[in-house]
């Protein structure tokens, strides 16, 4: 029986499916009942961590004197990956050791590199599926008044071959697939799994990187690097696909301080225009970005001065980068040249310019701030919302870092800026406070690839760094 839960994505109604972890737990619960009663259940049911009750047919029940096994077929819904249709089998046996012991069998991989959910040498069954499997077996034993020990072995016929088509060999899982899932449910068209894989790779490679990293969206960059190595072999190369914003944000969190982007100009020019998800579905505005500088200002005869800024969260490293940038500007200013620094939004709101202005003014160099339109005002205009009236307060909050927390309980309107990095955690906080339907969001406001969400009820995906939320 198919899972009859649907989501809206890309204008389509798409059916959700089960994770491999849910299938393993369902099969284990059914096998435990077969072992303890001698009768194979026709269906197995459980409540997923997401809170959804699921029920599936039980297949291939088999048993012996001290063991029983059942199978559940993986159903990915409308998000059919390589595990869709695979049989997920569980064998439950009596054992002398009290409680529930869990292991993997054929088709389930083993962890060979640090940084994954499980330690090196352990079966690649993540902690949430482990909890689900043990709980399903414990529930069956409790219902049948059995207090002895049980061992559970999860296997996936065909899993070793299917794993070759996944990221597992690249990440350090060998011999089969991983038993995964945090919610127990597969949401179709969700790209979070790809992002999570990339984040995991960044985490694994950070300790031995020396803080240096090469990012590339895809094959153009990888092929170029094969014949044109731009960094020592010790510097890791990570493929980030279209998720450049997520890659940069997470690279910073993992401690990378020097990052080189290598890829096709058509991709990277979008990044220059503030587009952090470069898939054409979100933005395909390369010509506009190429032309924009000439429309904004006449560059004829002018010097373009690149100013590198560190992505490290280390305050000392940040300050050093600001000093170096200010020194580069000072050289031109002392020579009697005018220097203009263009920013997005208003120059006084979360602007790097302010760090440079403080340094330069302390050195006796006059600086002028020319106001622009603050991004949160532009967002409110796009949404057709008032930010505040009369004596109602307005709170402008950073969306990164530790998150808003109790500030969401403040009276008046809350604006969360640059919220792309913490997007999912922010939505969870808003859901806990029943604020999703009241909240709204704009991604890349005024930039190519702008997306407007008048409500957050459907938990829209963020597509980049410039994500602004308004919570009345």
**Which residue, 354, 372, 390, sits at the end of a domain?**
372
Q: Are residues 141 and 199 in the same domain?
A: no
Per DSSP, what are the bridge partners of residue 440? 470
Per DSSP, what are the bridge partners of residue 22? none
Examine residue 1 and state whether it is found in any structural domain, yes or no: no
Q: Are residues 98 and 145 in the same domain?
A: yes
Domain that holds residue 156: 6-186
Measured in degrees and rounded to the nearest 5, phi and psi for residue 171 equal -90, -15
Count the residues in the chain.
Answer: 472
Compute and round to an integer the Cα radius of gyration of the chain.
27
Among the listed residues 76, 185, 178, 191, the one whose alpha carbon sits nearest the alpha carbon of residue 424: 191
Examine residue 166 and state whether it is found in any structural domain, yes or no: yes
Measured in degrees and rounded to the nearest 5, phi and psi for residue 96 equal -75, -30
Decide: residue 364, CB within 10 A, 0-12 exposed, 13-18 middle, 19+ buried: exposed
324 CA to centre of own chain:
33
Cβ neighbours of residue 120 closer than 8 Å, sequence gap 6 or more: 111, 112, 113, 114
> For residue 461, what is the domain's CATH number?
3.30.950.10
CA–CA distances in Å: residue 328 to residues 261, 305, 321: 23, 8, 11
280 CA to centre of own chain:
19
How many domains in the chain? 4
Q: Are residues 180 and 34 in the same domain?
A: yes
Q: Are residues 330 and 430 in the same domain?
A: no
Q: Are residues 361 and 464 in the same domain?
A: no
Examine residue 80 and state whether it is found in any structural domain, yes or no: yes
pLDDT value for 10: 47
Examine residue 437 and state whether it is found in any structural domain, yes or no: yes
Per DSSP, what are the bridge partners of residue 237? 214
Q: Are residues 435 and 349 in the same domain?
A: no
Q: Are residues 58 and 199 in the same domain?
A: no
Cβ neighbours of residue 387 closer than 8 Å, sequence gap 6 or more: 376, 377, 380, 394, 413, 415, 470
Q: Are residues 386 and 269 in the same domain?
A: no
Examine residue 88 and state whether it is found in any structural domain, yes or no: yes
Q: Are residues 269 and 330 in the same domain?
A: no
Q: Are residues 274 and 319 in the same domain?
A: no
Residues 253 and 313 sit within 8 Å (Cβ to Cβ): yes
**Which residue, 322, 352, 372, sits at the end of a domain?**
372
In angstroms, the CA 261 to CA 74 distance is 38
Examine residue 338 and state whether it is found in any structural domain, yes or no: yes
- Give pLDDT tens digits along the chain (472 positions): 667 777 655 456 778 889 999 999 999 999 999 999 999 999 999 999 988 899 999 999 999 999 999 999 999 888 767 899 999 999 999 999 999 999 999 999 999 988 788 999 999 999 999 999 999 999 999 999 999 999 999 999 999 999 988 878 878 899 999 999 888 888 765 566 677 778 888 999 999 899 999 999 877 788 888 888 888 888 999 988 888 888 898 898 899 989 999 987 777 877 877 777 776 555 555 555 555 555 556 667 778 887 877 766 678 888 888 999 899 899 899 988 888 888 878 888 888 889 999 999 999 999 999 888 888 898 889 888 889 888 889 998 888 766 677 888 888 999 988 887 777 788 888 888 888 888 898 888 887 677 888 888 878 776 577 888 898 8
CA–CA distances in Å: residue 97 to residues 35, 122, 310: 17, 19, 54
Q: Are residues 12 and 156 in the same domain?
A: yes
> For residue 153, what is the domain's CATH number?
3.30.2110.10
**Which residue, 266, 296, 326, sits at the end of a domain?**
296
Q: Are residues 46 and 178 in the same domain?
A: yes
């Amino acid at each position: 029986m198919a899972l009859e839960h649907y989501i809206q994505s890309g204008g389509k109604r798409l059916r959700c499916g089960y994770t491999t972890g849910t299938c393993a737990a369902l099969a284990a619960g059914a096998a435990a009942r077969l072992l303890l009663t001698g009768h194979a259940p026709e269906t197995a049911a459980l409540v997923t961590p997401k809170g959804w009750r699921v029920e599936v047919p039980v297949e291939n029940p088999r048993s012996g004197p001290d063991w029983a096994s059942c199978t559940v077929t993986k159903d990915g819904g409308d998000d059919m990956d390589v595990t869709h249709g695979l049989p997920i089998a569980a064998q439950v046996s009596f054992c002398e050791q009290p409680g529930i012991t869990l292991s993997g069998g054929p088709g389930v991989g083993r962890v060979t590199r640090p940084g994954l959910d499980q330690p090196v040498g352990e079966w690649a069954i993540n902690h949430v599926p482990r909890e689900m499997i043990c709980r399903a077996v414990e529930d069956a034993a409790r219902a049948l008044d059995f207090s002895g020990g049980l061992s559970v072995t999860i296997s996936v016929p065909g899993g070793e071959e299917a794993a070759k088509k996944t990221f597992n060999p690249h990440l350090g899982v060998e011999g089969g697939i991983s038993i995964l899932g945090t919610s127990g449910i597969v949401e179709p068209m969700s790209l979070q799994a790809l992002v999570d894989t990339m984040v995991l790779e960044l985490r694994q490679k950070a300790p031995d990187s020396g803080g240096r990293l090469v990012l590339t969206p895809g094959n153009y960059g990888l092929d170029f690097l094969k014949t044109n190595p731009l960094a020592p072999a010790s510097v890791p190369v990570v493929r980030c696909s279209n998720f450049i914003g997520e890659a940069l944000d997470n690279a910073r969190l993992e401690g990378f301080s020097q990052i080189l982007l290598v890829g096709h100009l058509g991709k990277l020019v979008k990044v220059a225009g503030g587009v952090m998800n470069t898939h054409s579905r979100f933005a395909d505005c390369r010509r506009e970005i190429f032309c924009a500088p000439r429309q904004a200002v006449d560059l004829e005869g002018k010097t373009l001065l690149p100013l590198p800024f560190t992505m490290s969260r280390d305050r000392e490293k940040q300050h050093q980068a600001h000093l170096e940038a200010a020194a580069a500007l000072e050289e031109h200013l002392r020579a009697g040249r005018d220097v203009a620094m263009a920013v997005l939004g208003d120059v006084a709101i979360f602007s790097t310019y302010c760090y440079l202005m403080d340094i330069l003014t302390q050195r006796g160099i006059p600086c002028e701030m020319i106001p622009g339109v603050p991004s949160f005002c532009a967002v409110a205009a796009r949404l057709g919302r008032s930010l505040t009236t009369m004596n109602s307060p307005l709170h402008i909050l950073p969306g990164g870092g530790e998150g808003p927390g109790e500030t969401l309980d403040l009276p008046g309107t809350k604006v969360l800026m640059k919220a792309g990095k913490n997007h999912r955690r922010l939505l969870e906080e808003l859901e806990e406070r029943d604020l999703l339907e009241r909240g709204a969001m704009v991604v890349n406001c005024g930039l190519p690839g702008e997306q407007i969400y008048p409500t957050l009820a459907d938990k829209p995906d963020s597509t980049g760094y410039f994500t602004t939320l308004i919570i009345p």
